[in-house]
Structure 1
């Protein structure tokens, strides 16, 4: 009998749609806003005040009608910050490629990056691209050119570093550039009210979409807790985006905060043990942290995995390959729910991964305890 149930959030409790919207808007801003590269785009001129219809158009273009999202998810990319970085870099590489033969451009790029991959450097890089590149309009069609048939998250990052080194003679500081994307994503998702910025972004915290009826999920969590089951969360969301909507839907009170691990905790751990990067899913770090309520990164990373005897005790409930891989490495059982990006079409994928359970939605967890 399971003694611990650990839930993912996006694709399990809450829809991923707003996170994917924010990711698309972030990529588009990094490429088209004067704050960053300032390039032209098939998505139009950069604006912060977008209607839902406008947002849908940007997302369709940036993620090629979500086919790019599916490719990212299928190789274990779970964090939206990673998605932003990887798609942005694929379009940046194409812009650099179209001007790389020009010697003046090469000098301009070296000068732009003399102090590293800062926001100012990105702006200078954009100026050089606008002056020398033959391909002036971002089309969002270059994901496959860079990443092709890559099969893991690590391979995606390696492809980007290798391309920049071999084709452009540049050292791609993925952590610095990733951090710029992360900060910009937070502006889009949280909005000015939470970030205390003046960007004109309204944010999405107040428009979260539950995937299951809130009262029914409350009942499930209450029942599990009454049975003595320990409940935890391991999510790619930062802390604020985790707590605010879960409080709104009445779910937060059922979880011990010590057994809640978020992207904020992963970032702190990566800062404390930088050589261990990346610690986001499919790395099992966040699930191990929530299972043990141990918040010491060094101690957790020295734990021998998979944990012995936990397959019958620990259940991870997630919607992605990244969750499945993390569960396997941890030594836990995995229940796949078909409420993620691909819906019921994801079933064969989870069958190939030999998920212990495949559920229509998270409410069916209750049947495992009947």
Structure 2
């Protein structure tokens, strides 16, 4: 008998489309805005029209092939997707500055990459003829590491291969990762909500944000009906998501869904970041690391250090189900030893069925409304 079901949010309850749009816009800004690398003469705007957003995402992620490849490696957090994509393009750009600026590049690539580093790279790129090759990501990562988050560190291998410089500067605990994360937050939240989220005004103002334009996977009333059916079976409901808290609470509340979830079991990326800041030597803890789901099992008040080291015994693991749309969710469930239900409402939709069949997911459902039927 199940005691608890923990739901991922993106691709399960809410559509990921706006998150992917914001990811593309973040990389686009950091490449083209004069506040970042400022390459080429493309006109940057913090408020692009919908047609422009579609064009940017299509070009940058090669018709979402880049997103699909990252997902296949278990990368689920959009912050990590932005960091991977931008850092890779940064390496490709630096390669084009060799050998003329080898000394400067070696200095940059072997230290923490900061906003000052980005300014220095922008000055080196100024008035240079630069080739942008988004598809090179597929080439460099098609034979990357195995399915785990070491792909974030694999950027160091790519840098050594392309630049001939050995480095360990690329990691999910780097300052560059923080810059990518905060810039993404600016796009997703918009000028009004950014100060509450990251403690400062937007670095580049004029962004409206996407938070008020969320798209549910199925109509909210059907989600509510499903959650009510599960609660009536005596099952507690929680959340384990790569979204920050503010981006989880606001849309679920507006859709009338928040009250179905136990507030002690709503675990977000904000809680993961807090744990990583307290125990940096244990990072990364984003999915596919099972931290958010184990904390959801134990409850929000459980100390993070105990959560990190906690092992759910096999008999208790049978009382937990994780509902997710990604390989990262599956890997977290496998690590815990609990039941996993895959929904076919993520980036690749029904095409994901083959992958989850290959992984031998416990259940595969078209969408979350089918969860009561598999119980």
Name the SS for the 1:336 alignment partner. strand
- In structure 2, the partner of 1:25 is 25
Query: Does 2:179 match 1:180?
Result: yes
- Asked if structure 1 preserves the Cα contact closer than 8 Å seen for 2:74 and 2:149, the reply is no
In 1, the alpha carbon distance for the partners of 2:157 and 2:66 equals 21
Partner SS state of residue 206, structure 2: coil
Contact (CA 8 Å) 1:188, 1:203: kept in 2 or not? yes
Query: How far did 1:228 drift?
Result: 1.8
Which residue of structure 1 aligns with residue 11 of structure 2?
Answer: 11
Mean Cα displacement is larger for which, 356-365 or 154-163? 154-163
Alignment of 1:33-44 (within 5 A): 33-40=33-40, 44=42
Offset, 1:310: 3.4
Structure 2: give runs of 5+ residues left out of the alignment: 196-200
Matched, 1:221 2:227: yes
Given candidates 57, 60, 64, the residue that maps to 1:59 is: 57
How far apart in 2 are the matches of 1:259 and 1:159? 33
Separation in structure 2 between the aligned mates of residue 234 and residue 114 of structure 1, nearest angstrom? 35
Task: Give the match for residue 298 of structure 1.
Answer: 305
Shift of 1:112: 5.6
Structure-2 residue corresponding to 1:141: 135
Q: Equivalences for 1:1-370 in 2 at 5 Å?
A: 1-40=1-40, 44-102=42-100, 105-109=101-105, 116-130=112-126, 136-150=130-144, 151-165=146-160, 167-174=164-171, 175-196=174-195, 197=201, 199-293=205-299, 294-304=301-311, 307-369=313-375
1:113 Cα offset (Å): 7.0
- Residue deviations 1:339-359, cap 9 Å, x none? 111111111110111111110
Q: Structure 1 residues 276, 317: closer, same or farther in 2, change over 3 A?
A: same
Query: What is the distance in 1 between the residues matched to 2:323 and 2:115?
Result: 38
Aligned pair count reads 362
Question: Within 1, Cα distance between the matches of 2:158 and 2:221?
Answer: 50
- The 3-state SS of whatever aligns with 2:364 is strand
Structure 1 unmatched ranges of 5 or more: none
Q: 1:49 deviation in Å?
A: 1.5
TM-score, with structure 1 as normaliser: 0.93
**Structure 2 CA distance for partners of 1:100 and 1:284, relative to 1, 3 Å:** same
Distance 2:9 2:292 in 1: 13
Q: Is the 8 A contact 1:48 1:201 kept in 2?
A: yes
Give the Cα–Cα distance (whole angstroms) in 1 for the partners of residues 138 and 303 of structure 2.
39
Pick closer, same or farther for the CA change 1:233–1:186 going to 2, 3 Å.
Answer: same
Contact 1:335/1:358 (<8 A) preserved: yes
Q: Is the 8 A contact 2:106 2:165 kept in 1?
A: no
Q: Secondary structure at the match of 1:57?
A: helix
